[in-house]
Amino acid sequence: MNAAFFTLHSGLPREAPGDEESLAWALARAGTPQDARILDAGCGPGADLKTLARLRPQATLTGVELHAPFVERVRAEQPGVRCVLGDMTSPPDGPYELIWSAGAAYGPGVRAALTAWARQLAPGGRVAFSDCLWRTERRSAAARDFWARDYPSMGDVHTHHTTVKAAGYRVLDARWLSDAAWEAYYGPLAARARALRADADEALTAVLDETDAEINLWRQHGDEFGYYLIVAEPAG
Ligand SMILES: C[S@@+](CC[C@H](N)C(=O)[O-])C[C@H]1O[C@@H](n2cnc3c(N)ncnc32)[C@H](O)[C@@H]1O
């Protein structure tokens, strides 16, 4: 992350679309026990770890994250969580009944992440993760340009299910995240961008402009792409 990007993104509650409703759905569809061991892979600043602590107060929670300031923040705000600085493809030792990941598996790549996670799942353990996918064949130039820069290998539902199967998993259920889940990310991001605008230097202004363009893209063309949440288990 460059300095201007981090100025904008430090202090935000979350770094990808997501909300309690979709996380509760995933826990229910995965049959995650009350006292489960749960890993949040690419936990960012820890929003989902807080929600997991509310939804599964008896669970043992671990986060793994590459970006050190996020790890420090989780450790400071959530002393009951083990948060490890590291790569989700070498996850902290489990085993886990659930490996959760919101909008982060694209970092190492979905297949690499799923392959690594399988080695840390408890018997009967499951994964639940979201990834951004194309929703339609009709794709505006603006959306194509943005995602070609941000996530060039972004797939669609068909290619995504093929990847999950090739990684050795069976999909138990899947759904799109709601607009409310996008607002949970973009709402605070847009407010922070507005607050920083007046005193922004050139580098930060460029980051704020890119962020406004990204949020406007979703508002205008958000029917063309979305975050798809899959619950899956090793196929055995
Ligand atoms: C889009 S953000 C989502 C963060 C968080 N899940 C949330 O919803 O707020 C993706 C996060 O994954 C982290 N990340 C990317 N690749 C990773 C990897 N290989 N191992 C661990 N974390 C990774 C990034 O540093 C970033 O914090």
Q: Whose CA is nearest to atom 10 of ligand 1?
A: 104
Query: Is the pLDDT assigned to residue 1 strictly greater than 80?
Result: no
Q: Whose CA is nearest to atom 13 of ligand 1?
A: 42
Residue 108 C-alpha to ligand 1 middle, in angstroms? Answer: 10
Choice from 65, 89, 101, 131 to test ligand 1 binding pocket (greatest atom count within 8 A of CB) = 65
Rg (the chain; Cα; Å):
17
47 lines ligand 1 (CB under 6 A): yes
Residue 87 C-alpha to ligand 1 middle, in angstroms? Answer: 9
16 lines ligand 1 (CB under 6 A): yes
This prediction's pTM: 0.97
23 lines ligand 1 (CB under 6 A): no
Cβ contacts of 144-152, under 8 Å, gap ≥ 24: 146/213, 146/214, 146/217, 147/225, 151/106
64 lines ligand 1 (CB under 6 A): yes
Place 63 in a pLDDT band, splitting at 50, 70 and 90: very high
End-to-end Cα separation, the chain, in angstroms = 38
Mean pLDDT in residue range 97-109: 98
Place 2 in a pLDDT band, splitting at 50, 70 and 90: confident
Q: Where are the domains of the chain?
A: 15-178+226-231
Query: Is the pLDDT assigned to residue 113 strictly greater than 70?
Result: yes
Tens of pLDDT, residue by residue over 147-165, are 999 999 999 999 999 999 9
Class of domain 15-178+226-231: alpha beta
Mean model confidence pLDDT for the chain: 97
